[in-house]
Chains A and B, each alone.
Chain A
Amino acid sequence: MTGLATTPSATTTAPQQRGPEPGPAARIAERIRAHAAGLPDVDAEKVIAQIEAGLWPGATETALRERAVEITSSSVASEPTYSKLAARLLAEHIAEETAGEGVTSFTTSIAASRDNGLLADDLVAFVEANAEALDAVVDDAADDRFEYFGLRTVYDRYLLRHPEHRTVLERPQYFMLRVACGLSQSVEEAAELYRLMSALAYLPSSPTLFNSGTRRAQLSSCFLLDSPKDELDSIYERYSQVARLSKYAGGIGIAWSRVRSRGSLIRGTNGHSNGIVPWLRTLDSSVAAVNQGGRRKGAACVYLATWHADIEEFLELRDNTGDVERRTHNLNLANWIPDEFMRRVEADAEWSLFDPKETPELVDLWGDEFDRAYRAAEAAGKARKTIPARELYGRMMRTLAQTGNGWMTFSDTANRTSNQTARKENVIHLSNLCTEILEVTNDSETAVCNLGSVNLAEHCTPEGFDFERLETTVRSAVKFLDRTIDLGFYPTAEAEKANRKWRPVGLGCMGLADVFFKLKLAFDSEEALALSTAIAERIALVAFETSTGLAEQLGAHPNFAETRAAEGVLHIDHYPNARITLTERWDAVRGRIAEHGLRNSLMIAIAPTATIASIAGCAECIEPVVSNVFKRETLSGEFLQVNRHLIAELKERGIWSEQVRQAIVVAEGSVQGIAEIPADLQERYRTAWELPQRALIDLAAARTPFIDQAQSLNLFQASPTIGKLSSMYRYAWQQGLKTTYYLRSRPATRINQTTVSAQPAAVAQPAELEVIPADIACSLENPESCEACQ
């Protein structure tokens, strides 16, 4: 069965119970049978029986269909194919809903959105001028590529809705073509981007998906604001910028290192400052107040330099104990760490904290110059406080373990390897909300980045990875990312100014774990590392080729002369040990850059892709899977996800059974130690909690030469200790990572499982009570945390 082939008229809800017509339950049963056709291992009758058992008075066909979607979508843990059935039912629901608004084709969808004032005039004109050709581009059958969670995400969050009825005005394929048209100058271009998206091979980031072609086409994902100056007006000006940027779905990174610390003298009033915490409380409230068009909550991350005298209070901002007046539950926190600090941690030396009012020069320095200025300030006795470096480092680790926050980002590595920092006045002061963007900021320039990600899983068959196809995708992706810079609406002048000068983009990837599963590679194997690095190299190379090609056509970005590339230094040149396999092509592109420059100062950034990976149905960015069965919680509900690769392999070997399924759920998605599952599968399907974190860092480090911005690298410790974390982050710094992202840990206790059978406790000696299932998982993963199991 290909596609849905649902005609709206067949499914439009009839008025309740007219004469002898079949009732809504019978009609929905018929639809379920039709949709289940061709889906192996799906039992339509079982679903129908469940619906009939739960009938309530006045149940309409639409409500019953929703129930069917719910039942089928939660059956995926037993049989992943139910996801397809759920997706087909949901697609039918969407078709019905849009038909109710008179939408039956791409052009009628555009007309409906236009009539409701949602679309930009030039988009409408473009579509009207090319109506027939564009309608012919749409492939409705492509909806069948969605897994349920992907389609559900699109439906709940991305499709344009009627301002009053709140019904959707586009089907998923119309939405994708609308996004593509918003970034295109011809039907050919629109078709090119639409086909990539529709194949789920490449997706622009959420702001572009939300806003392309609309009246307020804010297409950028990330904004990086320099620290406010150490004065009242500047601080309030920043709040206002943050609010405006947040309103249009951007994620915010903001530094706070220029603002004076607690106890600093305020000349105007002869009082003393309360430090940065009260300001950040206000920022916290402001961020919470701005809800991004009802689609998601605003989010921001504050960066503080490790030498700032309020660093200790800063690290407590997310604690759930202590004075609520000194807590910020909506802000994320990140440490902006100079190498000097890490060296002093290694040497177990002292570390000095400064009030930026006394040492304003430190904020704009990095590398040797920072080291000199820092030591000079120490020698001049300007330190407000001196503490053992390891004491502070230990507190950073504690914050990571307790809150997942307090991300470790390394200021010297970031500046040393950036294309933007050739001139002394161009300094990177922070990363962004997800630690993958590193761009220069100053008081009048807010850095911006437009993101998109290649779905690597879509470029891979069991036979191997398709580098040719990857190249084609990357060429298109870079072209359209560059396009967003000119078409986007900028909520602030500071953002527009910076973006037009530097024209940075952030092309990333997702589905790396799927590639490894498809090719049967263990995440921490040498083959995986080689492939992952080769993919990163290819993406970077083609991005550079494309960007210099665009420069040849359209001109280099205005600030090109200020970049390292203008001096002949490319990002890979900072890494003498980079695994370069395409030497000739790099040489060639170097020549072209010397001649034409680059259209974009930065090109590669690996974003977390949480939402677009859901749409594409692949693993997030470069991450291993956290579990083989897990639920996703989003604003629109909770959804069950299973590792389809694992279940397919288990089925292939005839091992998949209800018993094995329950064993995996009881172990919270782990396959370790399940007797029925062979060793090679246990090896390859280790979860993020079970993989050595060293391997994740090594993969990231090998990839770094090809990432001219940064990567959102989560690290995982099921039960973190200060010792493990301090070794792990030191290693990450040593290996040259520019940034790290969340430290993920697990709850120490958990909910009792309701859907796996309870076990009677075996009778045992009091001192060695049999562990109940909940404890088995924990003892396997962290033997040291369970006294009873030692």
Chain B
Amino acid sequence: MLLDPGMNLTLRPMKYPDFYDQYRAAIKNTWTVEEVDLASDLTDLAKFTPQEQHLIHRLVAFFATGDTIVANNLVLNLYQHVNSPEGRLYLSRQLFEEAVHVQFYLTLLDTYLPDPDERAKAFDAVNNIPSIKRKADFCFKWIDEVFDMQELKTGEDRRKFLLNLICFAACIEGLFFYGAFAYVYWLRSRGLLDGLATGTNWVFRDESCHMNFAFSVVDVVRQEEPELFDEQMRQQVTDMLEEAVEAELQFAEDLIGEGMPGMTVKDMKSYLEYAADQRLVRLGMPKKWGSENPFPFMALQDVQELTNFFERRPTAYQVAVEGKVDLDEEF
């Protein structure tokens, strides 16, 4: 079984080809930080109101540390327990992507915050910005739960592992990041910070895949060990999501304050609850909040992009391409 302790090295026959497909799909979407053009952002930032400045500084401070935490958890907790070579291929790839994200946010911070002291403060956000500290504490709590486990021997161990996995997928990538992306797309809808939005498109695409992978691991475990998914587990997941929504909401209060055009705490609350419901449904559980997505600009992220290359660099190209010259194929 997937969570049995050990170091499975057998790729053929492949037990979980879906993991392998996800790995290959991820390879095709390689992007590099150098492709993101942040030049126009500086012009925008110069025009920001103090309120907007505050928001963007807090936001990049969160981004700067968020992906680092995710990468640490991946290496320290997930990799060792997902005992499938194809699954570990995916996680290796994910680790690379997390590194690119960290590099992207590092570049972003260096660009947005010219003052070295401010930069240092932003990177230390988990210690000096309470609204970010609270989110980080939430992450650390779930890291600590499994940190000392060498092997998942008992059902209780596995339950803890699953909660860590679900926490990072549903709450951190699927809620904290989704929340943060909403601010980026909100700014974008007002024609601001195009460079940040471009990089975010790519990060968003990656994060979506990470979350999908984690959920597919959950699906496999549910299939293999259905007894783990009992009422207690469901309750724990719901409580965890509730706690995450609250943590993200106090972050929103810090960022938005009394509200800005098209962005209020009330709408953000509804959006977070909506996203949390989506995670519950994906995990086969009933919705808890029944809220609607109030952000029209998020609807835009669901559909194919069509970019006029005069405007922005199209981002839809695949990296790996296979085959050899043949003049008689169908096309």
Contacts and interface: CB of A to CB of B under 8 A. Distances in A.
Interface of A: 50, 53-57, 59, 63, 66-67, 70-71, 73-75, 77, 156, 251, 288, 296-297, 299, 320-321, 324, 327, 329, 332, 345-346, 390, 393-394, 397-398, 401-404, 610-611, 626-627, 629-641, 665, 668-669, 692-694, 717, 719-728, 730-731, 744-761, 763-767, 769-770, 772, 774, 786-788
B312 A633 contact: yes
Contacts of A288: 37, 39
Nearest to B277: A758
Interface in B264-310: 264, 266-267, 275, 277-279, 281-285, 293-294, 296-310
B17 A635 contact: no
B325 A56 contact: no
A750 B208 contact: yes
A320 B28 CA distance: 12
A454 B299 CA distance: 32
Given A67-B262, A320-B35, A726-B326, 11 more contacts: A54-B294, A56-B260, A59-B261, A63-B261, A390-B325, A632-B308, A634-B311, A635-B194, A723-B326, A726-B329, A746-B316
Contacts, number: 292
Nearest to B275: A754
B306 A633 contact: yes
A752 B216 CA distance: 14
18 contacts: A66-B261, A74-B299, A156-B191, A297-B310, A299-B310, A393-B325, A394-B325, A631-B301, A631-B304, A632-B307, A723-B325, A727-B330, A727-B331, A747-B205, A748-B27, A751-B201, A753-B302, A774-B208
A636 B191 contact: yes
The 3 closest A-B pairs by CB, nearest first: A56-B259, A74-B296, A748-B28
B286 to A, nearest CB: 10
B28 to A, nearest CB: 3
Given A296-B311, A630-B304, A761-B215, A67 B324 contact: no
B123 interface: no
B18 interface: yes
Given A759-B281, A766-B16, A67 B261 contact: yes
A53 B17 contact: no
B208 A787 contact: no
A721 B321 contact: yes
Given A633-B311, A634-B312, A640 B299 contact: yes
B131 to A, nearest CB: 19
B28 A755 contact: no
B298 A754 contact: yes
B45 to A, nearest CB: 16
A637 B191 contact: yes
B212 A774 contact: yes
Nearest to A772: B212
B315 interface: yes
A14 to B, nearest CB: 18
Contacts of A759: 281-282
A342 to B, nearest CB: 10
B227 interface: no
Given A693-B331, A757-B278, A766-B16, A747 B315 contact: yes
Contacts of A54: 262, 264, 266-267, 294
Contacts of B298: 754-755
B327 A730 contact: yes
Most buried by A among B260, B267, B285, B324: B324
Nearest to A390: B325
A749 B317 contact: no
Nearest to A718: B318
Contacts of B326: 722-723, 726-727
B308 A611 contact: yes
A722 B324 contact: yes
Contacts of B28: 747-749
Contacts of A761: 215-216, 219, 282, 284
A724 B281 contact: no
B319 interface: yes
Given A54-B264, A761-B282, A626 B306 contact: yes
Contacts of A765: 223
A131 to B, nearest CB: 35
B249 interface: no
A760 B281 contact: yes
Nearest to A629: B303
B230 interface: no
Given A56-B260, A329-B35, A747-B29, A719 B301 contact: no
B21 A787 contact: yes
B35 to A, nearest CB: 6
Contacts of A786: 21
Contacts of A630: 303-306
Contacts of B330: 692, 724, 727
A296 B302 contact: no
A767 B17 contact: yes
Contacts of A769: 16, 18, 216, 219-220
A296 B310 contact: yes
Contacts of B209: 749
Contact of B304 (A74, A156, A669, A764): A669
A632 B298 CA distance: 14
B190 interface: yes
Contact of A637 (B15, B25, B188, B303): B188
Contacts of A766: 2, 15-16, 220, 223-224
Given A297-B311, A638-B297, A754-B299, A749 B29 contact: yes
B30 interface: yes
Given A57-B258, A320-B35, A638-B300, A760 B284 contact: yes
Contacts of B267: 53-54
A744 B304 CA distance: 12
B327 A727 contact: yes
Contact of A632 (B261, B283, B306): B306
B190 A404 contact: no
B130 interface: no
A250 B261 CA distance: 36
Contact of B262 (A70, A297, A750): A70
A763 B15 CA distance: 16
Given A631-B304, A767-B16, A751 B208 contact: yes
Contacts of B327: 345-346, 726-727, 730
B296 A73 contact: yes
B322 interface: yes
Nearest to B309: A299
B190 A637 contact: yes
Most buried by B among A71, A77, A320, A764: A320
Given A632-B307, A635-B311, A726-B327, A53 B222 contact: no
Contacts of B279: 758
B296 A723 contact: no
Contacts of B37: 288, 329
